[in-house]
Amino acid sequence: MLNKLKPIECKHAKAKDKDYKMSDGAGLFLLVAKSGSKYWRMKYRSNGKEKLLSIGVYPTVSLKEARVKRDEAKKQLNNGIDPSEFKQTAKQTDLEDSFEYVAREWHTKYKPNWTENHAQRILTRLEKDVFPWVGKRPVDEINAPELLKLLRRVENRGAIETSHRVMQNCGQVFRYAVATGRAERDPTGDLKGALPPVRKKHLASITEPTKIAGLLRAIDGYEGHFVTRCAMKMAPYVFVRPGELRHAEWSEIDLDNAEWRIPAEKMKMRELHIVPLSDQVISILKEIQLLTGNGRYVFPSIRTNTRPMSENTVLAGLRRLGYTKEEMTGHGFRSMASTLLNEQGWHRDAIERQLAHAERDSVRAAYNYAEHLPERKRMMQSWADYLDALKIGAEVIPFKKLG
C-alpha cells in the first residue's frame, strides 16, 4: 500500500533509544535517528542487489516532495537506470562544470611543466583570490563584470601585479574550458585595459665595482649559520636564481669535471642547465661537503637536512649584513653579473645562456643547454677571478682578457 504516512506523523515523530523507520510504502521510509534528526530513504533492488537511495532531510524535504522523488526513482528503475548511480553522475556533472573543478583539472594537467614553486604560487593565488567568489559557479556562466569585481578586490589591497596575474591565470582556465567543451569563450579578453598598468620594478642590485668589493668582504665576514654563509659566498660566483641555489643537490654536482647540472624540472625555462664551476666555487663546495655531503641538499634547512634552506635565507643574510631591499636582493647577483660581463666584452649569447634566459626558438631550446659551453667555462673562471681581485682591493681593468 502506498502513502501510509501522514504529514502530522512525520512532524511529531520523536527520537527513541535507537534509530527506527516509518514506512510510507514502495520502498520509501522516514529514518528517525536517536539524535532526533529525520532522513528520507528509499530501499530498492538493482541487478539483484538491495540498495538505499538518500532522498533528503526532513523537514527540508517534505513528505509530498519525498514521494515525488520516490516516483521519479521508480521510473528510472523501470527504464533500467540505477537511481543512486544516476544521482552520483548528475552531481559529478554539475561539479565538473564549476570554475574550481575546471581550474584544478587545468592545474593538475600543466603542473608537470612548471617548477614546484611556480605551481604552488598559481594554486595559492586561485584558492585565495578566485575560488571563494566564483569557484562554485558554472564556468560557462561567469562573465567579465563578475571577474572584474573579484580583480578589484585584489587591486584594492594594493596588489596590482597580483591582480594581473590572477586575470592571466583565469584566462588560462577559461581557454582550457573552451578546449574541453565546457565554455564558449574566454571573458578575460573583455577586460583588456580594465586594470591599472603594473609599474615595472627592477630588482635591487649592486653593479659599481667598489661597492661590489664591500659586499664580498661583508659576506666573507658573515657570522651567522655556516650553511648560510657558504650559500651567500657561492651566490655571486654562479649567479643562478635564488630558488635554484637553495635547491642544489649533491647528486647534481660533479667536482671532478667542475660542473653543476641543474635538471630541467628545477629550471624556470624547463631545460637542463649547466653551471661551470670555478676553482673558487669548488673550494666552497669542498668546504661545505664535510658538513652536508652525506645528505641530499648542498644547503639544507637549519631545522632539518631533508629539506632545502628557506627561500628567504640568503635575503635575510643580506639584511643582517646591513643591505636594505633597495640596495641588494638575492636576484641582484644575476643583474650584477649580467651588467659587468657585458661591459667586459664577453659574447652576449654566452652570457644569456649562462643566465638561463628564455630561448624563443623552442626547437633550439631543447638542445642548447651546452651552447657556448667552452666560452662559458672561461667566462665563469674569469668572473670569479675578477670578483676575488675586487675583494682584495686590486686594480681591475673591466675588459675581457684576450686568450
Q: Quick check: is 372 catalytic? A: no
- Which entry of 67, 331, 353, 377 is annotated as an active-site residue? 331
Residue 330 burial (CB count, 10 A): 23
DSSP state of 311: T
Residue 172 burial (CB count, 10 A): 17
C-alpha cell at 344: 667586459
- Which entry of 268, 296, 320, 400 is annotated as an active-site residue? 268
Sign of CA dihedral 178, 182, 185, 188: negative
Contacts of 251 (CB under 8 A, 6+ apart): 296
**Could you give the angle at the alpha carbon of 338 between the alpha carbons of 374 and 240, nearest 5°?**
75
**Could you give the angle at the alpha carbon of 266 between the alpha carbons of 287 and 159, nearest 5°?**
110
**Amino acid found at 146:** E
Distance of CA 126 to the CA centre of its chain: 10
- Which entry of 109, 128, 217, 367 is annotated as an active-site residue? 367
DSSP state of 370: G
Alpha-carbon distance of 304 to 319, in angstroms, equals: 23
Q: How large is the angle between the packed helices 332-343 and 226-238, nearest 10 degrees?
A: 30
DSSP state of 205: -
For cell 563578475, the residue is 146
- Which entry of 34, 357, 364, 401 is annotated as an active-site residue? 357
Q: Quick check: is 268 catalytic? A: yes
For cell 609599474, the residue is 199
**Amino acid found at 290:** L
**Amino acid found at 287:** E
Q: Quick check: is 364 catalytic? A: no
- Which entry of 233, 241, 376, 377 is annotated as an active-site residue? 241
- Which entry of 38, 229, 246, 334 is annotated as an active-site residue? 334
Taking a C-beta distance cutoff of 8 angstroms, is the pair 232, 290 a contact? Answer: no
Nearest to 356 by CA among 291, 276, 250, 280: 276
Q: Quick check: is 386 catalytic? A: no
Number of H helices, E strands in the chain: 17, 7
193, with CB counted inside 10 A (0-12, 13-18, 19+), is: exposed
For cell 643583474, the residue is 335
Taking a C-beta distance cutoff of 8 angstroms, is the pair 48, 58 a contact? Answer: no
The residues annotated with a catalytic role in the active site are 241, 268, 331, 334, 357, 367
